[in-house]
Structure 1
Amino acid sequence: MQQNNEIPQFDLAEQIMAEQRKNASVRRKGPAKRVGAPNQKRKVEPLGHTIKPQPALPEQEQIIAEIVARDIKKLCKGNARSPRTSGF
């Protein structure tokens, strides 16, 4: 009888990974076995009331018009001074 002096190999990492794969496969379910979320659509509930913005007063409209006109003038003057910067 011949004696075998080789040390048996044991790959701990491979054993651990095999066990993890085994556990994961047990937990995993096939597509037919999965329990999906219910297909019920949520009902849209109407709000009790809606808030409508108040119409602008003539004074407010005049102030807004002045601000817009002033900004347009500034923009036009700024573009006339620096022809390199065109917004288009």
Structure 2
Amino acid sequence: MTELNFPALGRQPTGCPPARGVLVCWLAADGSQVHVGDRLAEVRVADDRFGRRIGWVSALATGTLWHQVRAGEVLTAGAVVGLID
């Protein structure tokens, strides 16, 4: 099983808490077949220096995607958002 983590879009200064952001939407359905490199979810992180930053969670393996969080949830960098079985 491969974990998919919420990305850290940019570097946080040493001693600061991990960046927080939102999983905006899933681009692949729960239970769907995915392939390495597929974009699976759109994410947004608030950044004090650059405002909002948009990024993606991409598939790190080929298999079946299982969502672990819902769209709209606030998350910290590194949180598990999905699994590929």
Q: What TM-score bracket applies, with the shorter chain setting the length?
A: under 0.3
Structure (1 or 2) with the greater strand fraction: 2
Q: Which has the higher contact order (CA 8 A, sep 6+)?
A: 2
Higher-helix-fraction structure: 1
Output the TM-score relative to the length of structure 2.
0.15
